[in-house]
Structure 1
Amino acid sequence: MDEIYYLEPDEEITSVIDKIKNSKSNRISLVVPREATLLQSVVNLKLLVKEAAKFSKEIVLVTSDKIGRNLAAQVGLTVFDSIKSGRPIYQPPASLPDEQEIIEIDMRKEEVPQAKPKGVQVHHFQEEAHKGWSKKEIRPTSQPSWKPHKPVVEFDWKKTRKIIWPLITASILLILIGLFLILPKVTIKIKVLAQNYDKTLEAKISAEESSNLSENTFSGNLIDLTSEKEDKFTATGKKNLGGKASGTLTVYNYWDSNPQTFPTGTKFLSSSKTFVSKSSVTVPGTSIRGGNIVPGNVNVDIEAENAGEDYNVKSGRFTIVGLPAAQQEKIYGQSNKDLTGGFSKEVTVVSQQDYDQAKDKLTKELNDDLKNQLKEKTNDLEILDKTVQNDTVETKSSANVDQEANDFTLKIKERTRVMGFNKSGFDQFIVEVLEKQIPQDKMITLGLDDTIVPVVKETKYDEKSLNLEVHVKAKISSKVDIEKVKKDLLGKSNTAINNYLNKIDGINGFEIKFSPSWWLKRISNFQRNLKVELEYMNEETIPVAPSSEVSPSLPATPASTEALP
């Protein structure tokens, strides 16, 4: 009798295999609901078949899920559509014998021995035939392997057409609407008489004050950065810190009767060694006593210029450095005792070169660091030449120059300040300042060749300001409000455009160009599709005949300068 299992929709294959394994029946019916997890993958069903064969179980699948039945049929399972069905929807064919399998068939029949009639000889031909007979080997013929039938799904063209045609129609409509909104692109050049306008004025960039047209003050941004670095360096200098030899000299004046004065630090030379006086002395002049010349003399203490035992010179004569050769013979010093006290002691000290190299290294690193910070802070700002100000705020060393040390630590703190500002905003600000100085029906605009060049006059970062001298090269012409023209012309036809432009005072003609030229002669409602330019005309320009796209009122050839909207 079949053992029936009702599976849950989300029951996993591992749970089903456990049920098969634990079942005591050899034939198991699995009732599977629609869209159950087991029926979602042919891999699950193949695994089910494999495990069933492993446990010698026959599996019957009961389900109303069409897709599940197809998959089950593909893997060779017997399939019913319900428990009450008498016949399966699909039943796999009986397994065919393997080609290599040997089937033995015994053709001999067991016969019941019969009694021979007396006096009659019976000859059995079967016995003679059977004597030459033996077990005959019959091999099965090769049979094609069974493959499950794959159901053919017919494509519903009627249903597809009902979906595709509305989509195609809607796409075409969207494309046409998009082209109508996007096209055409229109460029309008308005011709105006203009004169060159050159002006130099003073202005100020301030980080504390807001923009003020009457005071020519434009708001800027003062960037103030500080950075410090500290590092340890090796001292390489050498210095003799031993004792200096010293002694007393008697200075004689045989030169004349006038006294000779020698200040502190006067140098005396002996044995190629230099000594200096510790005090200022005045040597009396020569006198005559009893007919003999008596030199003036005075004692002075001296000290060796440098330390070392080499300065322990013997007693003797000392030449005064700086006197003419003739006077050095008559004015000199004399020691009666050897100089003593000199000895050597060489130590490592911080040399000037050590200090300078350390300072240069830290300063460069600080400047690079501040430069990178400055670049991040001023990414969208205009920075003028010679406006970056670097200052050393602090320099601190653990050892001074010539001080004994094997190494030293140097710390430097740098400060960088610069004034940045928005260049396009500044240019517009300067134009507005200059427009206050011209008639109200005129305007100042910048052509392609026109410039506004600010030059640094004075940096006052302590007052958070930067004084400039601004050189302006521009055009002055009749006032035309470009933005108002663009706004008014949106959505207008070619005829309406011509009527509107002909009513503007102060213009000398215009050109209208539609792109593509074959499209509707109408401006779209998108402002980005409309470009309005000013084209300046010199008063002495020679008139030319208008082209087909030029208004009849155009009297002159355009100048080479194109205005920026």
Structure 2
Amino acid sequence: MATVIKLGKKDDIVSVIRRIKDLKDKEVVFELEKGSLLLSSSANLKLIKRTGETLGKKVSVTTDDELGRLLAIKAGVLLDQTEEDVKRIAPRARMFSQTKRTGVGDLRAKRTLPKSVLKVDASPLAKYLTKGLPKPRFAKVYKTGLISLLALAIIVGVVLIGLPQANVVVYARSEPISRDIDLRVDKSASEFNPDTLTVPGKLIVRELSQTKNYPVTGTRVAGEKASGEVVIYNGTNNTLKLLASTTTFTVDGKNYHFTRDVTDIKPSSQNSNPNQPVPIVAAEGGERYNLSSQTRLEIKNAALGNRPEVYAVSGEITGGTSSAQLALSREDLDKALIQSTEDLIKTAETELNAETPGHSFISSGAKVEVLAQTANKNLGDAAENFDFTVIARISGLVFKQSDASGLISQQINSLLSEDKYLVEGAEQKLTTSFKSLDLGVGIGTLAVHFETLVAYKIDQTNLSRILSGKKASEIKEILLSKPEIDRVDVKFSPFFVRKAPRFNGRIQIETVLSQF
């Protein structure tokens, strides 16, 4: 189904042609209002049709304007034309009178000349009669006026022929182009080879060190330690002694310790316990260490062994509070090591560029051997930041990005159609990563994504001759019908000139690249 686009009165031929180029549909119908600029000439409608045919699209128009419908029929683009519309533009027969006109010469009477005429020399008489009379100045005035008119005609001719000039700026269409290709980086190659897709490489080895400050992101729960009293039940027949340094009370993964050594723990039962309550304190701070009364705790002691009949029952264990605190974590140390090795690779690349400019050293082409690493804080220490020092041996295979982009550019040029070319000086984006790497032999496979810009060539042969004597709208119509042209600017000088000069040398055509 055709796409219908309604155009305003002020839409000109340039904007319509641009729409036709941008549309993806193969059939489009333009709805024109009465008084539209496009209905001022059938040339506009013919250009619309010709542009559509060039781009392989069917273009039609529809309008309520009677004159516009006639112009559309003549151009062959009216969508809903009727037989009545066709009859309106049928040629009308001219009526000619069959009566022979009488010429002025037929009315003139025939003059009869005498057979003989007497010849008299009147020159002496004329000289006598005009002797002493002033001569008329008419001949001198006539001569001066004739010279003035001739000079004016020459000036006007010079102005009309030599002064007019047309400047036409043609914007060539451009478009991005990208390629994905695998290249071979070889340390034994001396220059890039388009046939084998090989670029020269270079092996480097560097021992580098770095000390850098990093922020701490790990956290730990801190706060006041919970404390209280427990009663120990001794289900054995022996009196026990438990030391604070070797005894731990546990419940639900929480640990508590004596505040002092406890001796003379007598045998007891659940119904009879002669032992007195003893104080304990939580191993760490936090609200989770608070316990309700009558909570049973297991007793772990290396000398006692596994004796479930020896246990403790708590009173209320209270006073534990919680707060978050920054603390050095394993993740902080791992992140610092990764960042430090990346920094060392960049340092190696900077040193390499100073020695041999233009080489690229990427992380996928490098091997990092950490010789030593240390931090000025211990794992779990409360801190906001820490210093991390690493010593590493960096080895890798490097290459020149200019070799990679030059090789790919040659590949693109060899496959481009004749009407396109790579834009010299255009931005080139190169993304590289090693797919495989063997540092032992100095060879790697490099995956490359390459982006740049191509533009269309514009043939200016006989273009000045074709454009001579044309109006600005006609020049744009001719040039915009070419798919390789994006837009056209036309300027005439002086200000009163409305058409391109007839002389080709006065038409200046400049081709510039349309920015993508």
TM-score (norm 2): 0.31
User: Higher relative contact order at CA 8 Å, sep ≥6: structure 1 or structure 2?
Assistant: 2
TM-score (norm 1): 0.29
